[in-house]
Structure formats: structure tokens, C-alpha cells
Amino acid sequence: MRAAIYVRVSTEDQAKHGYSLHDQKESCKARALELGASEILEFADEGVSGELLERPGLTALRQSVKASQVDLVVCYDPDRLSRNLAHQLLVTDEIEKSGVQLDFVNFEWQNTPDGRLFYALRGAIAEFEKEKIRERTTRGKLQKAKQGGIPINANPYGYIFENGELKPHPVEAEIVRMIYRWFTTENVGFNTIVTRLAEYGIPSRKGNKTWQRRVIKTILSNPVYIGIFYYNRRNCQGMGYNKFLPIENRIKEKKRPTEEWIPIPVPALIDKETWDKAQEKTQKVRRLWSGCSKEKYLLSGLVTCTDCGNNMHGYLRTEKNGKKIRCYTCVHTEAGAINYGCRPIKRINADLLEQIVWEQVCAWLNNPEALIKEVRERSKEKELKTDLETINKHLAEVEKGRDNIRNALAAGLLELDGKTSKILQDLKSREKQLLVRKKEIEAALYKNAVTETKAKEIYGQAAKFLSRLDELVFDQKKALIRMLVKQVSVSGKGKNLRVTVFATFAPEAEIAKQLDAPG
């Protein structure tokens, strides 16, 4: 009789339950020989989660069973086949329908109604235990992050992860600074940086001679380089990451709301001013180079539908009489589109929408002093300064508490026992959180300080257009709009159409002009 044994172990199993491939193999071989096997084939998966169905070893076993190459399958325990009850029952059913005997070393399997019920219950319990382990692990990681520690093996380019902390990499950190310096001080984009790194002979972290454009884009947008590592930014959905799975079945990540992000202070590689310049240039590049079309669309790359969240793009609609009408739509039908868009289909007349935005731009240019006054009045500088004073007060209290403990220890009034160590750790965690908030407030104050100056600079550049706004050609209008408009959001349609225009020279969600458009 030809037998197959299947063994699996994950890192977690080895650490918590003492499972090992060697022990499983020996036990399964002994069982197979006991049942009369004359030849034994081995199938194994090491370091692979039992939640996944598509595992190299298990897949090869299923193929052998399907091809009638084995008469007996021996496994140490049902949860070695799978941690997922549905997958467990699926594999079991495949083996039995192929006329192959299934046997477990650590479980008495009977192909009877009672046996199947007990088997299913055991699988359900194993699945429940796995979920409880995951829940406890997740909760523990969140708690560690809230206390200022990094709960995962974070490894962004430019850093080394050692002893639970991110430290600047002696070589990569300087390359990160160089990339930011090129991007913010020279007229270069992502592709030019990729080419330049190759010309300089600087390999990527993986040792490749050519860098990927998306890696450069990630480096230029990751806030870790200004000293803030955010944990809990994404929610992983799907079957879990496995390089053997098809791409569409791997982890799908969805961004969590920003209020759920947990900031953890780390050493900064660049200053806040350089970071802001990089983000501003990235946004500008995205606006200026957003899609090309045979038809001209004044707001290409600027319009967002707030009802479905999609960007709105130019669309040429053909009426029944053959007339073509320019529209903006949020519908995305291209391959790989995640969000289809609004249903029923939303189409906004391009002439109407462009007229609304253009009139707002003209209003800003014709009365700049009023708008600058509004910018100044809406600034939250007073509240921010009050918050900063409060933060500094709390930091002083933390330092005072630490000094009191040091003095008590020196005087022999306290011992450095577990309770005292816990107090010191709590003070350190609180200090880290306060420092993160202090950085955020200082960044907001800096942004407020430059808002008015930036508005005046933009108006200075646009002053040459004031006397001939109605005479500008399409390209001049488009350039002027991109100078003054950060984003246009659209909600509703027809008589309920509402347009909000955001200025480039004001903080996000400030100085937004809402207009009710005619139906």
C-alpha cells in the first residue's frame, strides 16, 4: 500500500505548542507502517499558517490524491490539515471521494454521522482558538503601540529595526536625505530620481541595480522620515499574505480612519519644511499630469465625487440625436477598478461645472484682501498656542515626577522594584505621546504662519492676469486654476448638485466655497 503523510508547522505552533516537523513526520510514518504502508510519500509545509488553503505541500498532496497515486493519507492532527473548518471539511471530502483512506495520529477518525459531527466540532473549536489567539495578539500590539513601542518588525528604507526600536541606517539614511534634496530643490520627478540612482550605482535594499518608481514615491510620502511612525494605519482583509497564492487572493489592505492611527515617535531623517515641500510638489505633479484627453477639460484631475469617493474624469457623452456633450463622471469601468462609482450613473455637465469654478477663481482674484482677511480669521493659531502651553506644562510635570523618583531612590526612600519601574515606564510612555502631539502642534503653527504669506505670493504671480481674465485661452485658464484650486468636490446632481471649491493657499477644509448649482 502506498501512503502519503502530511505535516505542517507555523512559527506560532513551534513557540506555543512545541510542534515540530520532525516529530510529526516520525509519528505519521510509524502510523502509516502500522496500517500496512509499503511506500511513504512526504508532503510538508513549514512556517505556513493553517488558515490558508493554498499551501505548496497541501496542494501537492491534493494533486496526488486526485491522480490516485496514494491509497492512504496520514496526518498528525486535523488542525494540521487546516485551522479553518470549511477548508478542513473540503480537504477531507476530496480525500474520501477519491477512495483514499484518511487517518490521524492524534485523533480517532470515523466516517460515520457521529464521527463526522465530532470531527466538525473539533475543527470549529480549533478555528475558535485561532481567532482568540489573533484577538489577544492584536490587542497586545495595540497596547504596546499606545505605550510608545513599535509592536511589529518595521523596516522602512533608511532605518534599522533593533531591540524594538527604529534607528537610522548609516548608509540608507543619507540616501533618503539625498532623494528629498533632489526632489525639493531641483526640477526632477520620480523617474529622474530612479535613473539618477542607477547612474550613481546605488542599489535598492534588495540589491537591484534599478529602483522601482513606486519605492521612490513611497519614500517621498512616508511620514516616518519626519519622526512619526503610524501603527494601525491599515486593516488587512482577505486570506492572508502568501507568495504562493494568486495576487488577487492575497491580503487586501484598506486604510483605517486617521483617528485610529497610533503615532509613535522615531528619529527623524529630514526636517518638517523639506517634508512639506515634497508633499506640495507631489500634489502639484499629480494635478498637472492627470490624464490626457482629445477633449479639453479645465478641471482634469481636480474633481472628486463625495457620494462615492471616486475621482471624476472627463467623459464625452453622445445624445440620441448624435450631439456630443462634455461631462464629468465618477464611473470607473477600466480593468482593476475597485470602486465602480455612483449608481445610477452620475454625469455632470462640464460647461456648468467649469463655469462655477472659474467664477470662484475670478472672485478670489478680484478681491484678494477680503480672502486674506478670512484666512487670518479662520486660523486656529490662538487655540494651538494654548494647546502647546498645556503640552509643555504636562511635559514639565512628567520631568518633575521623574526627578522626584530619582531623588527618592538616591535618598533610600524608595527601591527600584516592579512598582517603581512601572511608574517610570508610564512616565516615559506619557512623555512620548506628549512629544508626538507637540510636534503636530508645532507643524500646524508653522503651516498657519506661512498661509498668509503664501496667499500673497500666489496673488503676486497671478496679478498679470487680473486685467484680462475674460481674454485668457484654455491653457492659461487651466494654469491659473491649478495655481489657486487644490480640489473641487461634487455631491448630488441635477437640482441637488453642490460644488465645493478648495483653495491651494489655505489649510485643508478651510476657505472652501460652497455653491448650489442650478439643475
What are the residue numbers of the active site? 10
In this structure, the number of other CB atoms found within 10 A of the CB of residue 222 comes to: 17
Question: What is the spatial distance between Cα 515 and Cα 494, in angstroms, rounded to a whole number?
Answer: 13
- At 382, which helix (H) or strand (E)? helix 381-410
User: What is the C-alpha separation between 93 and 515, in angstroms, rounded?
Assistant: 62
C-alpha cell read off for 198: 542607477
Closest residue by Cα to residue 152 from 163, 160, 141: 141
Long-range contacts made by residues 171-177, C-beta under 8 angstroms, separation at least 24? 172/205, 173/269, 175/202, 176/219, 176/225, 176/269, 176/270, 177/269, 177/270
Enumerate residues 6+ apart whose C-beta is below 8 A from 270: 176, 177, 180, 225, 226
DSSP-derived secondary structure for 146-215: HTT---S----TTEEEETTEEEE-TTHHHHHHHHHHHHHHSS--HHHHHHHHHHTT---TT--SS--HHH
Q: Residue 66: CB partners within 8 Å, gap ≥ 6? A: 94, 98
3-class state of residue 502 by DSSP = strand
Q: ∠ CA 142-255-12 to the nearest 5 degrees? A: 45
Which residues share a beta bridge with 44?
7
Q: Output phi, psi for 343, to 5 deg.
A: -130, 125
Give which of 61, 74, 73, 76 is closest to 20, Cα–Cα: 76
User: Which residue carries 526627578 as its cell?
Assistant: 403
Per-residue H/E/C for 292-338: CCCCCCCCCCCEEECCCCCECEEEEEECCCCCEEEEEECCCCCCCCC
Query: Residue 321's CB: how many other CB atoms inside 10 A?
Result: 5
